[in-house]
Amino acid sequence: MKFGQLYRIIAAVIGILAMTAGASKADEDAATRQNTLLETGWLFAQGDVTNAEKVNFDAGGWQTVSLPHCWGWEQAQKGESFYRGPGWYRREVAVMPQPGKRYFLKFDAASLVADVYLNGRLLGEHRGGFGAFTFELTTNLAPSGTNLLAVRVSNEKAPDIAPLSGDFNVYGGLYRPVHLIETPAVCFTLLDHASPGVAWSQTSVSATQAVLDVTTEISNGTTNGRPFTLYPVEKSKRGRFTLIAKVLDAAGNTVASQTQTIVLAPRVTEPFSLQVTVPQPHLWNGRLDPYLYRAVVELRSTNELVDTVEQPLGLRFYHVDPELGFFLNGQPYHLHGVCKHQDRQDKGWAVTDADLAEDVSLIKEIGATVVRCAHYQHSDTFYRLCDQAGILVWAEIPQVDQIGKSPDFAGTSRNQLLDLIRQNINHPCIFAWSLFNEVRPGSADPHREIEDLNLLAHGEDPTRPTIGATSHGTWPQMNKIPDLLGWNRYPGWYEPYKDLFNDTLWNEYQPSSRHGGMCFSEYGAGANITQHEDNPTEPDTGGQWHPEEWQCLVHEAAWKQFKSHPFIWGTFAWNMFDFCVVSRHEGGVMARNDKGLVTYDRKVRKDAFYFYKANWSTEPVLYLTDRRFTERTNAVIQVKAYSNLATATLSLNHHLIGTGTNDGNGVMVWPNVRLTPGENQAEVHGRTVTGQDLADQCKWHLSGDK
């Protein structure tokens, strides 16, 4: 008996048993997608291996790895040149093709170029190391159900792929998850730059209503315009579907919906649009109230659910006033936060969801309202965590330092921007699409390419502004292209410290001449937590001495200036975490950019972390600084605490020193405190306005008596 005959008999039996006009819940579940992570069972070989894509290739001796996986960090952390070239991954994938189903591979990222093969056949290539990409497997699957997946990944520098340079390492590998996705024959497309196939555009949002334009891309993989079904369908109704868009509140109640009947032609992908209006929306209000709806689109045939996509939805509106700063939902909402790279000690870029959750937890703890995801597209998981935390995000493409002279550079950069926007357009946390970071003289003229990217971003998403980060007025005409502009400036580090205390820096930015308001997209100073100095002087930034106390002075002075100028709508401390840069050897640590407020391993919050926590967080803070400056040689010292209390008392060796008063910048100082030879214990005590007692203590050891 042929398979088709057998299948029709089985289908008829099931249809008789069902005896229902509509599909049951079990049938609907069977019709929806299945997403399987391909985490284990991978074999890896570094280098370019001939015939590694072929099914009968002998991979004996290859390394067994799990995803996420990347190479290069081991050498980079030692300050050694790391491998930039190809590597190969192989894995068996068990898929027994089912009628009416389609199969896709989604890679959340691969650095920098990935060529994907199934059973020896090339599925396609993706160029760019930070965006997701998807290939369909359906017609290339083996009837036996056993398939050989092979992926060639290369992080070799390519003239058409940004970044061409940058103060960070470009590791190689499959460093984010890989998914095997099964869908119905008719589905919301997975092949549009690996987007969800659905875009919820917040066309008009206010406190009274939110108008959402929903665009879907529906892919019909059938030859007759009808999805595979176990139930008989009238011939006249084939190809007809119902498209539903609905918004559910946090409790699961439908608050708005729209329905449309559509007709699908076979073997095409078509766009369909709906408009949904949410009355009296509960707004996503940043850290104050990150309320999320559930945005659901469904595709239904006569009697069953065909496909569905659900995503979180945060409704909000915002703008930048050149004089008064950033406004969220009609109210002033200052953006103060940090920049962040994606790497992590002893892992490189191969970080887990748990690692990202820890990073967001620390960013929340410091009280940040915003994060700049430098200098490339970060993972969907990180953006999702920011949605939930109410942390706004500056999202970037890796257009760093240089514009490539290759004729293909503009096209690859365009695709990187399309990856970023289409994959992440539904994240409420993202408030701007960034076009460049510090493009400098010496590269190709950037104006034509960046103007094209600016037009592309506005065409893809008219609801968000574009932004760029610049330094020292480089390419002044380029700086006028994006809607908003950030300045990367380092008074007290790469520029004179005195600029933090006078108007030299600020006079450059008169309100009448500012471009879309003003923000500082980078500022900060390095700090090695093992290096300390009383009354520190301005260090050699490229040298081996980066005392922690100097970092504190720079951030104290910078924040005091920033908060006194209301037209500065955003500030982004560089950086939240120390990170690896193979070319650096400074601050006493090989291959480390030590400007982080938290150490590379995430184990130590530096003193400057608590300075910002005292200024930004709503949590009561009382923290004694210099706690790692344990060995002292000066008997008379200054004791300093960071706090959001009005006052606190200091005791040394159980003797009261006196009361310290907050200077309005989160700093309390007790000058001329005398230590005794040997061990000294300092204790600080305070009480909140609600009566909560706070205390902190640390120990210092005095050698000699000066």
Instruction: Supply the residues annotated as catalytic.
Output: 438
One-letter amino acid identity for 340? K
Helix (H) or strand (E) holding 571: strand 568-573
What does the alpha-carbon distance between residue 170 and residue 155 come to, in Å, rounded to a whole number?
A: 7
Please, what is the angle between helix 353-366 and helix 380-389, to 10°?
A: 40
Residues present in the chain in total: 706
CA distance 89 to 68: 12
463: left (phi over 0), alpha (psi -120 to 50) or beta: alpha
Q: What is the dihedral of CA 122, 124, 127, 129, to 10 degrees?
A: -80
Residues 597 and 608: beta-carbon distance below 8 Å: yes
- Of 19, 18, 191, the C-alpha closest to 102 is 191
> 491-521 burial by CB neighbour count: b if 16+ within 10 A, else e?
bbbeeebebbeeeebeeeeeeeebbbbbbbb
Contacts of 30 (CB under 8 A, 6+ apart): none
Q: For the CA atoms of 497, 503, 507, 508, what is the dihedral angle to 10 degrees?
A: 0
What token pair was written down for 19?
């005896």
CA 441 – CA 474 distance, rounded (Å): 7
Question: Comparing C-alpha atoms, which of 643, 645, 660, 656 is closest to residue 682?
Answer: 656
Token pair of 678, please? Answer: 């040997």
Nearest-angstrom CA–CA distance, 117 and 51: 11
DSSP for residue 519: E
- Cα 42 to Cα 91: distance, rounded to the nearest angstrom: 5
Are the C-beta atoms of residues 487 and 518 closer than 8 Å to each other? yes
CB 104 within 8 A of CB 140: no
Q: Is the peptide bond before 665 cis (omega within 30 degrees of 0)?
A: no
Buried b (16+ CB within 10 A) or exposed e, 77-99: bebeebbbebbbbbbebebebee
CA atoms within 13 A of residue 86's CA, in its CB half-sphere: 12
Distances (CA, A) of 285 to 31, 79, 247, 293, 385: 36, 43, 18, 13, 15
Question: CA angle, 173 as apex, 171 and 177 as ends, to 5°?
Answer: 120
Residue 122, C-beta contacts closer than 8 angstroms, at least 6 positions apart: 53, 115, 116
Alpha carbon distance 317, 333 (integer Å): 12
- Residue in this structure with the two tokens 């290539």, named with its chain if needed: 125
What residues contact residue 622 under an 8 Å CB cut-off, 6+ apart? 641, 642, 643, 645, 648, 684, 685, 686, 694, 695, 696
Please enumerate in sequence order all residues whose Cβ is within 8 A of that of 180, keeping only pairs 6 or more positions apart, or say none.
35, 36, 38, 93, 95, 103, 104, 105
Residue 536 · residue 549 · CB < 8 Å = yes
Please say whether the beta carbons of 223 and 451 come within 8 A. no
Q: Which residues pair with 159 in a beta bridge?
A: none
What is the amino acid identity at position 416? Q
Smallest Cα–Cα separation from 322: which of 476, 465, 117, 470?
Answer: 465
- Cα 607 to Cα 359, 395, 538, 675, distances in angstroms: 18, 28, 18, 21
For residues 141 and 349, give the distance between their C-alpha atoms in angstroms, rounded to a whole number.
31
Whether the Cβ atoms of residue 70 and residue 348 lie closer than 8 Å to each other: yes
